[in-house]
Amino acid sequence: MTALSPTLLQDATDIPVMVGFSGGLDSTVLLHLLANAPGRRPGSLRAVHVHHGLQAVADHWQHHCSALCAQWNIPLQVVQVEVPRDSGHGLEAAARDARHAAFKTHLQQGEWLALAHHQDDQAETFLLRALRGAGVDGLGAMQAQRSFGSSTLWKPLLQVPRSALETYASQHRLHWIEDPSNDSADFDRNFLRLQVLPLLRQRWPHASAAMARSAGLAAQAAALLHENDAALLQQGLDPSGALQVAALRLLAPAQQSRLLRLWVNQRGLPALPANGVLAIQQQLLASGHDQQAEFRWQQARIVRWREQLHALPLTKAWPKGWTRQWDGSAPAELPDGGKLLLHGASAFDQPVQLRQRQGGERIQLTGRSHSHQLKHRLQQSDVPPWLRAQLPLLCDGDTVLAAADRVISAPLQAWLQAHGAALEWQPPDPVN
């Protein structure tokens, strides 16, 4: 059995596959292997070429890929992307993110994405992450299969050395293109590939295979830890997805760290930085019973409220002094992206003023002889603190009629009941 035995591809024999096809050696070999795989159904294989526009020869690469796919009778889709040069993560990472976004957009239902990463790539990833101080999860490097959006990302060549790909390409007289940027040691990964790994192989010829094997062992350990983390996290969550402070306090600091990272990941937020975990442990978990504390990073935050931690995306701020008149005949579009609607009546008898809370407002409630501070009424309600500033106030001059649909004054409540009407506040969507 050779390193490129057809059995490498048996996991997806009956599954439609979209190959990320750059035109380089690795993806050319993978596409050729899949095109000639025994048992693959006609029409179940296609390729996607992402045109980054970062190289002067990018158009030539596209033409090469188109000609080769036409020769092999494989449908090819070319997707042009814009790669931001000021993302803060480096051009290499920005290009990868743009590629993956394009792949997710163009994957069809039930289709797998196949990429041609090999054993040498795995060794580079392992070493790069080790140099960045990664833990066992990061050292697990790349996986042969993992979820990718609603589909699966498949890397069938992950145990195959690049030398085997070169041998295969030579035997089958394949033609591929060379990316000149691969010869530049300015990029970290290229520096490892061009200078560090060749030096390591002089002393340890099987260095790449050994590091790839270590990555596999780290991945196994991480999977076992993740299974335990998921069980503990499920025990600590309430139905809304908030994390119980008491449950976290029962765990050792290392376990707290793992649960916090898993929880944030499941909430679809950016990865927690190392200082974030420490801040949560030292500040949020140690806060007093009635104290609201939070940690912010990127476009996200974790807030402690009512003995729970809440992981939240940030929302857009209101412009200072924003106000508008609203008669209720159409939904009111709020500056943070939220909406206010009047149901059951065509409009108010006269328009009301919409504005944001400024502090010090009072409101007259049904059955009460005196007004109450709106702040106190909201504190007694189930409206979380991070949403209170987003509540639109309905006012008649200086008189507060309602705070969205959460606290409603006696006069407005009487009007709504008389007209069989109701208010509905739709909170803003998260910041993208």
- Whether 27 has a binding-site annotation, put simply, is yes
What is the pTM for the complete model shown?
0.71
Instruction: With CA atoms as reference, report the closest residue to 139 among 206, 217, 208, 227.
Output: 217
- Whether 43 has a binding-site annotation, put simply, is no
User: In this predicted structure, what is the pLDDT of residue 14?
Assistant: 82
- Whether 337 has a binding-site annotation, put simply, is no
Query: In the chain, where are the structural domains located?
Result: 6-191, 237-313, 323-426
Which DSSP string do the residues of 156-208 spell out, in sequence order?
A: TTTTS-HHHHHHHHHHTT------GGGG-TTSHHHHIIIIIHHHHHHH-TTHH
User: In this predicted structure, what is the pLDDT of residue 7?
Assistant: 66
Residue 338 one-letter amino acid: G
Below-50 pLDDT ranges, the chain: 1-2, 431-432
**Burial degree of 86 (CB within 10 A; 0-12, 13-18, 19+):** exposed
Residue 374 one-letter amino acid: L
User: In this predicted structure, what is the pLDDT of residue 432?
Assistant: 43
- Whether 110 has a binding-site annotation, put simply, is no
- Whether 25 has a binding-site annotation, put simply, is yes
**Burial profile 221-251: b = 16 or more Cβ within 10 angstroms, e = fewer:** ebeebbeebeebbeebbeeeebbebebbeee
User: In this predicted structure, what is the pLDDT of residue 288?
Assistant: 61
Give the domain 237-313 fold.
Answer: Chorismate Mutase Domain, subunit A (1.20.59)
The CATH class of the 6-191 domain is alpha beta
- Whether 23 has a binding-site annotation, put simply, is yes
* Eight-class DSSP state of 280: I
User: In this predicted structure, what is the pLDDT of residue 89?
Assistant: 62
Distances 29 to 48, 52, 262, 278, 431 between C-alpha atoms, Å: 15, 21, 36, 46, 42
